[in-house]
Amino acid sequence: GAVVSQHPSRVICKSGTSVKIECRSLDFQATTMFWYRQFPKQSLMLMATSNEGSKATYEQGVEKDKFLINHASLTLSTLTVTSAHPEDSSFYICSARGSGQDSGTQYFGPGTRLTVL
Amino acid sequence: GESVGLHLPTLSVQEGDNSIINCAYSNSASDYFIWYKQESGKGPQFIIDIRSNMDKRQGQRVTVLLNKTVKHLSLQIAATQPGDSAVYFCAENNNAGNMLTFGGGTRLMVKP
């Protein structure tokens, strides 16, 4: 149980393109989803927290107009990187937590490798 | 500010030996801790967790120890196998924010 998927797993795009990444909880309802970014050989950095049906809460330094998050259902959250630039190239990972699960436990998706040319 | 950190960035062990990965945390309000394993190009995988009202918890081949006095967390892996090679992250949960704060990670390398 507690499986989280992401799509796509890898995307290469031109500078200026917008890219949408999907995060799905496959076998549980995720009331809260989290989006992280991870640069090579570094730890995970939380970008934003989203609760189903409400606006996402962004961490300091993360531009909400550049990283659009939508959590429209209990099983799906999307992250859209708008007008992507090479510095946005990174490994984006989502995680999900259900209402019935241990407080704090997050289950992670496999990640999406974004390369902006 | 409050942070979670690791003492050793890289740990190299012989196959079959026991591994110990350490983590220091500084937020005394944290009440829940998790160890994650991350293989190259993949998302973090839950290994084991522990709440602050416990000082030890065991899983299959893994044990987590929590010392709240010195704010120290460790992950012990028994009979380390090549498949254990990965980066291990500790994470702490601040119940007030219900968010995870990750440490810097330790790379475990298992020599055959």
Tell me: pLDDT of B4 over 60: no
Whole-angstrom distance, CA of residue B51 vs CA of residue B98: 14
Q: Which residues of A touch B102 (CB under 8 A)?
A: 43-44
Q: Which two tokens stand for residue B38?
A: 């991350």
Tell me: pLDDT of B5 over 60: no
Q: Which two tokens stand for residue A40?
A: 């090579």
User: What is the average pLDDT across B88-111?
Assistant: 85
The nearest CA of chain B is from the CA of A18 a distance in Å of: 22
> Considering only CA atoms, which of A96, A93, A106 is closest in space to residue A21?
A93
Q: For residues B81-112, b (16+ Cβ closer than 10 Å) or e, as one string?
A: eeebbbbbbbbbbbeeeebbbbbbbbbbebee
Give the pLDDT score at B8.
47
- Would you say B57 and B50 are in contact if contact means Cβ atoms under 8 Å apart? yes
Nearest C-alpha in A relative to B100: A104
Beta strand segments in chain A, E: 4-7, 10-13, 19-25, 30-38, 45-51, 57-58, 67-73, 76-81, 90-98, 107-108, 112-116
Tell me: pLDDT of B36 over 90: yes
Whole-angstrom distance, CA of residue B87 vs CA of residue A43: 10
Tell me: pLDDT of B1 over 50: no
Q: Which range, of A59-63, A97-101, B12-16, averages the lowest pLDDT?
A: A97-101
Tell me: pLDDT of B103 over 70: yes
Distances in Å between the Cα of A84 and the Cα atoms of A12, A17, A36, A71 are 11, 5, 16, 21
The nearest CA of chain B is from the CA of A99 a distance in Å of: 12
| Cis previous bond, B9, omega within 30 | no
Whole-angstrom distance, CA of residue B87 vs CA of residue B36: 8
Contact (CB<8Å) A111/B32: no
Give the pLDDT score at B75.
98
User: What is the average pLDDT across A12-26?
Assistant: 96
Q: What are phi and psi of A105, to 5 degrees?
A: -70, 125
A 10 A CB-CB count for B77 gives 22
The nearest CA of chain B is from the CA of A17 a distance in Å of: 23
Q: Which range, of A10-19, A67-76, A98-107, averages the lowest pLDDT?
A: A98-107
Q: Which residues of A touch B32 (CB under 8 A)?
A: 102-104
Nearest C-alpha in A relative to B35: A105
State the sign of the Cα–Cα–Cα–Cα dihedral B7, A92, B44, A60.
positive
pLDDT-derived band at B35 (thresholds 50, 70, 90) equals very high
User: What is the average pLDDT across A53-74?
Assistant: 91
Tell me: pLDDT of A100 over 80: no
